[in-house]
A and B are shown apart, each in its own frame.
Chain A
Amino acid sequence: MQEGQSIVEVLTSSSQEVLTRWIALQRETVKSTTSAAMEDKVRQQSAEFLAALTSAVKNGGAVAITGPAWTPVRELLARISSNRALQGFSPAETATFVFSLKQPLFEQIRRRVTAADDLAQETWAINKLLDGLGLLTTEVYQKTREDVISRQRAEMLELSTPVVTLWKGVLALPLIGTLDSERTQVVMENLLQRIVETGSTIAILDITGVPTVDTLVAQHLLKTVSAARLMGAECMISGIRPQIAQTIVHLGIDLNAIVTKATLADAFTIALKRLGITFSGGNESPGGLDRKIAEAGA
């Protein structure tokens, strides 16, 4: 008897039985398929997969899953698997989709094949086939999750480095979260680009949201400040919390070359002073204040 021959027979002659049994098994093992909509989906996916599998074993043989005849099966399985990964199925639940097909197929084959040798051979063929498909499912699942993670990472990178204009010629960069090399690179590029675009002469790096400052983070900050200076803009660092000031001194980091301020407001005041803009009084109407600033700027 040729290896994998009986699976072709099973799939062609009693596919309906296999399908019914398979769906029942999936319902038992996977908890997420309890809702009616989900069950419909599983039923549809199972039928589709079984149809594709049948045509694949007929045309491409049941030995390896690599041939061109298996392409539709692989594509279908990849689609199902990545869908499930996005919907939050666990890896086990996703792999079970394929592995739970084993039992109905074994049952069918045991009914047809009586010789012990043949039975073992056919069981092995099915095992090999479904294990291959199961591994493919897991691989696609993993890849989909990794794609999700890398996309979120990219989004976070973008979200975490906004450059805001505080005044004409004054930029602020509120840094939030730990600074690693990759983030610093993005921060630096963004800041320098905005300096060129806006022609700003002063940039304030606010590190209120940076939880810890170690030598590496300090080095990254110093690099950013140096690069901005090379382009002709002055950089200040603000939002230095008392603990961070202590850490900086204990680590022996030299920030003497840079203007450092405790709060963004202090840094902003210095920036305005450098630009020759002064404020006076707190009780004036906004219009009055504007006029004063306009006069100072002129």
Chain B
Amino acid sequence: MERIPILKMGELLLVSIQVDMHDRLAIQLQDDLTSQIAATSARGVLIDISALEMVDSFMGRMIANIAAMSRVLDAETVVVGMRPAVAITLVELGMSLPGVRTALDVERGMALLAEEMGGVRHGTAGR
């Protein structure tokens, strides 16, 4: 079964969604990500959805859920690279994802997380 890879970069986890998301894949990602955060004590999660072309209300809720779950596990989540069409769709569905942090690209998302974590960078300091 296909899986979305979760890459560990110091205290960050990097998730890049490069395939078409379907419901089971999203649930799998949610499981994998939460266990990874717990296992690695990650402080930040960066989800790159620049390749995601289609979303529905379920996918919107999954994104919001993943962000909320990470926060409970004390990891800040940033969703980066959302396409205009996806953003419009989500807003039209009435899901403006108020609890989710966003950034234009991975670079800015990293900067945002670094700022959020108070200057703690890739594994240079413990918790």
Question: Do B108 and A231 touch (CB < 8 A)?
Answer: no
Tell me, yes or no, whether A232 is within 8 Å of chain B by CB: yes
| Partner-binding segment picked from A45-53, A79-87, A104-112, A185-193 | A185-193
Tell me if B108 and A232 are in contact (CB < 8 A). yes
- Alpha-carbon gap, A230 to B92, bound state (A): 12
For chain A, what secondary structure do more than half of its interface residues adopt (helix, strand, loop), or is it mixed? helix
- How many pairs of residues, A versus B, come closer than 8 Å at their CB atoms? 57
A231 touches B104 (CB 8 A): yes
Task: State whether A229 and B102 are in contact (beta carbons under 8 Å apart), knowing that A201-B108, A223-B91, A223-B92 are contacts in the complex.
Answer: yes
**B108 touching A230, Cβ below 8 Å:** no
The answer to the question of B80 belonging to the interface, with a C-beta cut-off of 8 Å to chain A, is: yes
Contact of B88 among A199, A200, A227, A233 (CB under 8 A): A227
Most A CB atoms within 10 A — which of B102, B104, B108? B104
In the bound complex, CA of A231 to CA of B97 (Å)? 11
Query: When chains A and B are docked, how far (Å) is the Cα of A227 from the Cα of B86?
Result: 9
- The answer, yes or no, to whether B25 is at the interface (CB within 8 Å) is no
Contact A226–B91 (Cβ < 8 Å): yes
Say yes or no: is A228 at the interface (Cβ < 8 Å to chain B): yes
- The residue in chain B whose Cβ has the minimal distance to the Cβ of A230 is B87
| Contact residues of B: prevailing secondary structure | mixed
A135 within 8 A of B: no
Question: Chain B 69-107 against A: per-residue CB contact (8 Å), 1 yes, 0 no?
Answer: 000000000011111101110111000111010111100
Q: Are A189 and B84 in contact (CB under 8 A)?
A: yes
- Point out which of A192, A230, A233, A257 has the most chain B C-beta atoms below 10 A from its C-beta: A230
Given A227-B91, A230-B90, decide whether A201 and B104 contact each other with a Cβ distance below 8 A. yes
- For B96, the chain A residues whose CB sits under 8 A away are 226, 229-230
A231 to chain B, nearest CB (A): 5
Which residues from chain A sit less than 8 Å from chain B, CB to CB?
Answer: 188-189, 192-193, 195-196, 199-201, 223, 226-233, 257
Further contacts, 14 of them, CB under 8 A, given A226-B91, A230-B87, A231-B87: A199-B105, A223-B92, A226-B96, A227-B84, A230-B79, A230-B86, A230-B91, A230-B96, A231-B102, A232-B79, A232-B82, A232-B102, A232-B105, A232-B108
Binding site for A on B (CB under 8 A): 79-84, 86-88, 90-92, 96-98, 100, 102-105, 108-109
